[in-house]
A and B are shown apart, each in its own frame.
Chain A
């Protein structure tokens, strides 16, 4: 059973950080994942009073507070206009509206879940994680780091020229994805991210410049093969490695077709 000995609404990030160093003390965000664990939490540290539930925007970036809900991401007009609706497409099938009103971007990114639609779509942009002690680091670096006791304060998305498309395959709406694919061109450079492989999302850059001179039928096929050869998949109850790699090719190819159409 999931139990909590003490509940604290932190009044500053310093207080939250200090508390988080204690044994079995945990940051509580949406609590949806945390509660499924059987753990005994000593102090539950609630970040709700810290004003981290807003998306701020200036000419250079979006700053998304760690406590922003997935539903807010889904409905944010400017973020979705910048991402050609990819953020909305990534989160809209996560369980249900009531769930997405509670689940947070901070909990989603911190968890670095293998099945994560959220990690997959943000890796396909120029995204950074602002940690309370660790400073601002690229999301791609955070995604491979070991879990520690720092606190995610914000996720930052730099507004550089971007084309992005997102597709996931689910056995049925609201289930975990069988595979999740985000494909993008960030400041002229293509990248592909594949999540729910079922391992943690993996990012690959177009280091061979396959798409640098544009997306044609030929370059599309070459890029899709390049992604499939460099991002391994494996099997679980939701699908075999072979099926996933087949899906990877189909979804990445469809994403590229969508990118071609973005003005």
Chain B
């Protein structure tokens, strides 16, 4: 077992883990159920979390590597998410909603890096987030409406 300390959503947590513990499992064991298990082969983006502010795939990261780092999941980013998720909902963009947390996490990362992205920049940044129900247009319209609403303010 390995002893680790991670700052998870602002709280320092210490735990003992197996060497091959995967961050996705660790986070769900710590009640971060927004982090979804999708493909587990790096393709779908459902498991996206922020490590030191950078979006990564928790399905493919050793928990041991997160030792000493900061991890944020949607549970800890409610305020950031609340500014734009309503615009996505207004478009009826999601159907089953399973892809939504990963999608929201990566949108938070996008807006932090590039607060005023073009549609092409949004598409490029979110291209690693797959949705099996929608055609992505609703999500794009939602984010665009949010950005436009900010301009008006």
A binding-site residues for B, Cβ under 8 Å: 2-7, 9, 28, 30-32, 35-36, 41, 44, 46, 48, 92-93, 95-99, 101-102, 173-174
B77 at the interface (CB under 8 A from A): no
Q: How far is the CA of A132 from the CA of B128 in the complex (A)?
A: 34
Question: B41 on the interface (CB 8 Å rule)?
Answer: yes
B42-A99 in contact (CB<8A): yes
Known: A32-B60, A102-B60. Is A95-B42 also a contact (CB below 8 A)? yes
Stretch of B5-13, B26-34, B50-58, B140-148 with 4 or more beta carbons under 8 angstroms from chain A: B50-58
Given contacts A97-B109, A102-B60, contact A44 B19 (CB under 8 A): yes
Q: What's the least CB distance linking B77 to chain A, in Å?
A: 15
**Contact indicator B56/A102 (Cβ below 8 Å):** yes
Chain B residues contacting A32 (CB-CB under 8 Å) are: 42, 57, 60
A to B contact number (C-beta, < 8 Å): 71
Knowing that A32-B42, A48-B65 touch, tell me 15 more A-B residue pairs with CB under 8 angstroms.
A4-B20, A7-B19, A7-B20, A31-B62, A36-B42, A46-B64, A46-B65, A96-B129, A97-B106, A97-B127, A98-B48, A98-B106, A99-B57, A102-B56, A102-B60
Interface residues of B, dominant DSSP: mixed
Given contacts A7-B62, A48-B65, contact A96 B45 (CB under 8 A): yes
Docked pose: A31 CA to B20 CA in angstroms: 12
| Contact in complex: A31, B61 (CB < 8 Å) | yes
Chain A residue contacts of B124, Cβ below 8 A: 92
The residue of chain B having its C-beta at the shortest distance from the C-beta of A1 within the complex is B20
Specify which of A95, A96, A101 is in contact with B54 (CB 8 Å cutoff).
A101
Indicate the member of B2, B55, B125 with the most A CB atoms within 10 Å: B55
Chain A contacts for B109, CB-based, 8 A: 97
Instruction: Decide if A36 touches B61 in the complex (CB within 8 Å).
Output: no
Give the interface residue-count category, chain B: 20 to 34
Check B2 against A98 for contact (C-beta < 8 Å). no
Interface assignment of B134: CB less than 8 Å from any CB of chain A: no
Contact of A28 among B2, B62, B106 (CB under 8 A): B62
Q: Is the CB of A7 within 8 A of B128?
A: no
| CB closest residue in chain B, given A31 | B60
Shortest CB-to-CB span from B111 to chain A, Å, is: 13
Interface string of B100-111 (1 = CB under 8 A from A): 000000100110
What's the Cα separation between A115 and B55 when bound, in Å?
25
Q: Give the residues in chain A near B56, CB-CB below 8 Å.
A: 98, 101-102
**8 Å CB interface, B59-85 against A:** 60-62, 64-65
What 1/0 flags go to B108-131 for Cβ under 8 Å of A? Answer: 011000000000000011111100
Known contacts A32-B60, A101-B56, A3 near B20 by CB under 8 Å = yes
Q: What's the least CB distance linking A22 to chain B, in Å?
A: 15
Given A98-B55, A98-B106, residue A35 in contact with residue B64 (CB < 8 A): no
